[in-house]
Structure 1
């Protein structure tokens, strides 16, 4: 599979928290590394999330459009990286048990 983006993030946005899965190049050549963290949806926590994504060199972040909960993380990130807002109806087709972490991994663009 061709790598389209080197450093990407998938965000599963809820009312009280945002679960973020980051995929970046690993230490060995050709390997990939994933990290997952959960942040509260307060302004301070969203700024910490943004800083963590910038530190990891993330250039593309994707999130599902759940109700209006997507707005604060979207507006927080849009000035520092490309942000994709995805249709939640399409995301519900994910097979298996749904968890915030699995959703964040599924939402993440191909890296």
Structure 2
């Protein structure tokens, strides 16, 4: 018969010390995940690229459907996600909506992983 060692409560050494660095709060992790989720879709990346490349730094929703070969409701859905993630702003002008990048949003998104 093989004899296994027995351990008394309180006599085991801790396997590792807890980190002194603070971890992300639940709210902060959710906020960052929202940005990553927005960036994880190829169509949304293309929308950001199109808006950024616009001569005036903005694009009308009417100009965003053809380059993606998607319907207006689908493009609007993707734009809504980008706005909710804090990457784009939306300005209503008459019957059209214009989208522009939030200043510094792409730089902040790029730093989300490096600041973990």
| Higher helix fraction (1 or 2) | 2
Highest CA radius of gyration, 1 or 2? 2
TM-score normalised to structure 1 length = 0.28
Greater fraction strand: 1
Structure having greater relative contact order (Cα 8 Å, sep ≥ 6): 1
